[in-house]
Amino acid sequence: MENLNTGVKRILVVEDEPAISQVCRLVLTRDGFEVDTAVDGRMAQGMLREGDYDLILMDIRMPVMGGREFYQILEVQYPELVDRVIFATGDVIGSDTRKFLERSGRPFLPKPFTPDELKTIVRETLS
């Protein structure tokens, strides 16, 4: 949750592509957020045990544990976070991905995305 010392909202970016992860961190930090990153769902799961987050931005396809599997864990173990998830994907054409996104009802950010698109979807999801 919001950092009680500073009032800054915390975002967890779960992304296996270093360039995208770095851009997200840079853009969101400049926009006033505290940002942590994880390279897959398993690492993110461990980070959730250590701290609270106001929002999770996650890629759907990642090695070790992808976004779908991590989202299912959130539904069971962290249901309060489910409404604060944004998916990022370069695979919106695939029928499996499309069906998953429709079932989840969560917003998604198609890759590639602009910094303005990232900031807009984050603000909308947090409001």
Domains and CATH numbers, the chain: 10-126 (3.40.50.2300)
Beta-carbon contacts of 85 under 8 Å, excluding residues fewer than 6 positions away, are 55, 56, 57, 58, 71, 74, 104, 106
pLDDT at 90: 81
pLDDT at 4: 56
Low-confidence residues of the chain: pLDDT under 50:
none
pLDDT at 51: 86
First CA to last CA distance, the chain: 14
CB of 90 closer than 8 Å to CB of 62: no
pLDDT at 7: 79
pTM of the full structure: 0.91
